[in-house]
């Protein structure tokens, strides 16, 4: 009977201790909420980091700078955000309520970055090789000079203008388009004649062959 009384007394003492500890822990917990703003314009600081030091817990502010987190009395709260100086705030241990609000002001912080020079070549030898073999594109003046030279060559003798070398110019493209359009209109509703048996076409072909028009030009 004595052992039963001792066991009951021990269990009762454990229950009383657990209840007292839970009440004490509940009294230490505080619903900490507030807003983080800038010092110069009083604008909200969105997505600022709020950390409870030495606990691994924390939260972030929303787009309007508002936050809310459960902390303990005497906890150290750290506020940090990109472009602002870090601020620490300790929760008072003399609070009589389990709710506490704060308007935290943060000052701007200027971050000076070291100069970084990026080179496209890792060594001077590669830079020298690339510089020597650099193909500088023509500027607008050089392009205009070449175009004028092609026009002068064409004006002196149209036969000097080689479409295979210089490409079809505007006049030749226009003439080719007009000729094809005229042929379509001329033979509209008719069968287009085949030049395979045309003696004039064969005569022009033989003349071009004798002139060497079909030889490869290097």
- Identify the structural domains of the chain with CATH numbers, from first to last: 2-106 (2.60.40.10), 140-211 (no CATH)
Provide the 8-state DSSP code for 196: G
Which region, left, alpha or beta, applies to residue 44 given φ > 0 means left and ψ of -120 to 50 means alpha? beta
- Counting DSSP H helices and E strands in the chain, the numbers are 6, 7
Q: Kindly report, residue by residue over 6-31, the tens digit of the pLDDT.
A: 556 556 556 655 654 545 555 678 89
Query: Which stretches within the chain are classed as H helix?
Result: 2-28, 124-132, 140-156, 163-166, 170-186, 199-211
Local confidence pLDDT in tens for the 218 residues of the chain: 565 665 565 565 566 556 545 455 556 788 999 999 998 889 999 999 999 998 889 999 999 999 999 998 889 999 999 889 999 999 998 888 888 999 999 999 887 788 888 778 778 888 888 878 877 778 888 888 877 776 666 666 555 556 666 566 666 777 778 888 887 888 777 777 777 777 788 888 888 888 777 775 54
CA 50 from chain centre, in angstroms, equals 28
- Among the listed residues 88, 7, 92, 83, the one whose alpha carbon sits nearest the alpha carbon of residue 46: 83
Percent of the chain residues topping a pLDDT of 70: 76
Q: What is the pTM (predicted TM-score) of this model?
A: 0.44
State how far the alpha carbon of 121 is from the alpha carbons of 132, 135, 137, in Å. Answer: 14, 17, 20
Q: Kindly report, residue by residue over 179-206, the tens digit of the pLDDT.
A: 888 878 887 777 777 777 777 888 888 8
- Nearest 5°: CA angle at 163, between 162 and 169? 115
Contact 35, 43 (CB under 8 A): no
CA 116 from chain centre, in angstroms, equals 20
């Amino acid at each position: 009977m004595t052992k039963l009384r001792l066991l009951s007394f021990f269990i009762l003492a454990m229950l009383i201790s657990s209840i007292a500890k839970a009440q004490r822990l509940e009294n230490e917990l505080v619903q900490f909420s507030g807003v983080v703003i800038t010092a110069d314009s009083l604008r909200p600081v969105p997505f600022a980091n709020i950390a409870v030091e030495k606990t691994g817990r924390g939260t972030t502010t929303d787009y309007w700078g508002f936050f809310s987190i459960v902390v303990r009395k005497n906890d150290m709260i750290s506020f940090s955000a990109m472009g602002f100086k870090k601020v620490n705030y300790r929760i008072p241990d003399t609070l009589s309520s389990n709710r506490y609000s704060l308007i935290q002001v943060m000052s701007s912080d200027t971050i000076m970055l070291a100069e970084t020079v990026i080179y496209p070549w890792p060594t001077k030898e590669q830079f020298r090789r690339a510089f020597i073999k650099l193909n500088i594109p023509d500027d607008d003046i050089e392009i205009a000079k070449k175009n004028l030279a092609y026009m002068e060559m064409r004006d002196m003798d149209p036969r000097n203008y080689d479409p295979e070398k210089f490409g079809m110019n505007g006049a030749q493209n226009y003439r080719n388009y007009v000729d094809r359009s005229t042929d379509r209109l001329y033979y509209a509703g008719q069968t287009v004649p085949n030049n395979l048996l045309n003696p004039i076409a064969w005569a022009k072909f033989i003349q071009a062959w004798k002139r060497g028009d079909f030889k490869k030009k290097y």
